[in-house]
Structure 1
């Protein structure tokens, strides 16, 4: 079944495997206490999904907020990286206990998986995480995933669980992602403004859609806003995964949103192969290669990136690192794994293949970025 509207996600045939992302402000109140009744209602909805033969992976925020309350840290534990790490260390125990208790009351087994950005950026570790999640689902467990904030530094953090949810959805080959928010979905302007209208369906994110987003987190407890949700939707849509933003502030919010069709669904645009979906969803480029107009056109037709089309090299990357490929205007048009380091790319840029052996002093490779290791954006 093709997903064309939010209501379609009710059908198990359309979305058998779902990733459910829950933000801090939904799970924890302003005093840092868990919203137990609300969490019980979510556990009930997860149990209903499971009874219908569907599989659910939960991406849950809340550890920092819970831990900060217990440690008495200001600003919800987000005053500094050290505060966030300390709060997460305490809060992860409380968060895991909450999920275990509420799901067990519904006859379900919770499993905890803590991830950092590097766990999903490194191919081998990504496959390991994917395998673990698949085995947990096969065994009937409900994986509860969170960013491992107790060890993550600014350089290796997702920074929000919206994008983490999209990457987890890739790893488990989910059909849909549900992002529970404190608003009904994406509005055509700030929803606090008079006349703001809910956008029910987005068929491809472009500059006009991005202009609708508000980058702030209204509650002050979380780290994501609408901008991070659009970034998550872009990751999902390239992997053939539908992503929906719905209001999670109500009791049993999933049924309310899906049955009433209240929310925004971002339609999947294409289904890249597993490796290319992983490449397209990676978040940290090591550098960039700027190409001329002719090269950009050749890439769009499925060609590999050759040195002759490169006009500039940015960053300090090594062979095998992920690099962005930009057009003359600076827009990212592709992403791929470099066959040469930055120094070699500087030496080769603008040169035809016949000149490469003379410049390098050894037999050149077929391309700077081969099409098999590149994904168009």
Structure 2
């Protein structure tokens, strides 16, 4: 697609933030949500397939349980609030979609569901079948069982991973801000909205503000840029759009106001899954020569590695870190961590003696690695 609009996108993921769906007093913003559902229904009737990633369970549950700090005072409070609020959240979506003649489906996923390759493929198959049937899946992280260590932590990145799994063409993050600005628009009246991002580099990342302006959600601009990295690497356009108007999808389609992160050429499905991985078991630090080799499509050889960190075994996902400290690639390790550490910086002709057996071709083979 040369241009990205909700109407032109065959399969679309729409993410709704907590502050848009839930008012400050913990009640559902029903009139606004009804207008969004009307937008979704119009798209589905025109032949578009739409899935929704919806926040709001913790905020809704916290009100019902009268928990402090919006249910986020502790992990246990968040889990209890999520378990209580998820029923209300799914009910309101089912009711409003049903009023438009649409069937809703609920999918609750954990980080492991999308990080484990087999479970990821299962989720992908379920999403694909639901969308092909004209159903609107409503997806949320299963916060009632997620822990601090094993969770997405924000629905921005979840939406990007769902887009991968669903084979979507675009993601719209409906947000409490209109898009990415070159400065914080809340404190700088001269801040300019960035309309289009062709490449996410250090300058783009420097514009991000980690805070959630509402104090209700868990995401901020940092999480949205992280989501854009995942989506665009998989060949999926991602737009950040203000949700502070009724009929936000129709408004974006008409005005194009927001920030569009332009998709890269779509990677093969397995490499896109690798690139979007969030739970690397370890890290392999490399020198400048190895970084240059990786950028030209080469495998990671032991001679170019400088240090190994973490506890991983052969086949685990590891992050490859460049000399400047930035993640350059993710891939599946050909060695356990102890073996990889022993081989660090060694030439191929030295490795057999260290290992006691013939070495493999690389620490991370290019066929099992994706640049990020």
TM-score normalized with structure 1 length: 0.96
Distance in 1 separating the partners of 2:342 and 2:176: 51
After TM superposition, the structure 1 stretch with the greater mean CA deviation from structure 2, 312-321 or 101-110, is 312-321
Following superposition, the deviation at residue 321 of structure 1 comes to 1.2
CA contact (8 A) 2:114 2:161 kept: yes
Task: Give the drift of 1:357.
Answer: 2.3
Counterpart of 1:154? 148
Q: Is 1:238 aligned to 2:233, yes or no?
A: yes
1:358 counterpart = 2:325: no
Indicate the residue corresponding to 1:99 in structure 2. 93
Shift of 1:363: 2.9
Q: Residue 297 of structure 1 aligns to a residue in which SS?
A: helix
Match of 1:261 among 251, 256, 259: 256
For residue 316 of structure 1, what is the aligned residue in structure 2? 311
**Aligned equivalent of 1:288:** 283
Give a deviation string over 1:316-357, Cα, whole Å, max 9, x none.
111111111122222221111101011001111122222222
- The whole-number CA distance in structure 1 between the counterparts of 2:324 and 2:260 is 31
Question: Residue 188 of structure 1 corresponds to which residue in structure 2?
Answer: 182
Distance in 2 between residues matched to 1:62 and 1:10, nearest whole Å: 23
Q: Deviations over 1:140-193 (max 9, x none)?
A: 110000000000001111000000000000101111100001111111100121
Asked if 1:35 is matched to 2:29, the reply is yes
Query: How far, CA to CA, are the matches of 2:290 and 2:277 in structure 1?
Result: 23
For structure 1, the 5+ residue unaligned runs are none
Q: Is the 8 A contact 2:5 2:256 kept in 1?
A: no
Q: Cα distance, 1:258 vs. partner?
A: 2.1
Count how many residue pairs are aligned between Structure 1 and Structure 2: 371
Given candidates 368, 372, 375, the residue that maps to 2:370 is 375
Aligned pairs for 1:1-377 within 5 A: 1-3=1-3, 8-12=4-8, 15-192=9-186, 193-377=188-372
Structure 2 CA distance for aligned equivalents of residues 298 and 261 of structure 1: 39
CA RMSD after TM alignment: 1.1
Deviations 1:193-251 (A, max 9, x none): 11111111111111111111111011111000111101101111111111001110111
SS in structure 1 at match of 2:26: coil
CA distance in 2, matches of 1:211, 1:330: 16
Cα deviation 1:102-133 (Å, max 9, x = unaligned): 00000000000001111111111111110110
8 Å Cα contact 1:180-1:246 kept in structure 2: yes
| TM-fit CA distance, 1:359 | 1.4
Distance 2:345 2:210 in 1: 39
Decide whether the 8 Å contact of 2:54 with 2:138 is kept in 1: yes
What is the CA–CA distance in structure 1 between the aligned matches of 2:83 and 2:20, rounded to whole Å? 20
CA contact 1:10–1:259 (8 Å) conserved in 2: no
The TM-score normalised by the length of structure 2 is: 0.98
Report the alpha carbon displacement of residue 11 of structure 1 after superposing the two structures with TM.
4.2
Deviation >4 Å, runs of 4+: none
Distance 1:10 1:88 in 2: 30
Asked if the contact 2:160–2:230 (Cα under 8 Å) also holds between the matched residues in 1, the reply is: yes
- How far did 1:23 drift? 0.5
SS at match of 2:199: coil
- Rounded Cα–Cα distance in structure 1 between residues aligned with 2:95 and 2:210: 34
In the aligned structure 1, how far is the partner of 2:287 from the partner of 2:24?
52
- Aligned residue for 1:250, secondary structure, equals coil
Structure 1 residues 294-303 or 155-164, which shifts more?
Answer: 294-303
How many Å separate the matches in 2 of 1:91 and 1:188? 36
SS of 2:149's equivalent in the other structure is: helix
| Deviation per residue, 1:13-66 (Å, 9 max, x gap) | xx1100000011111111111111111111111101101110001000000001
- Distance in 2 between the 1:306 and 1:207 partners? 27
1:134 positional shift:
0.4
Is the contact made by 1:187 and 1:212 (CA closer than 8 Å) also made in structure 2? yes
SS for the counterpart of 2:330 is strand
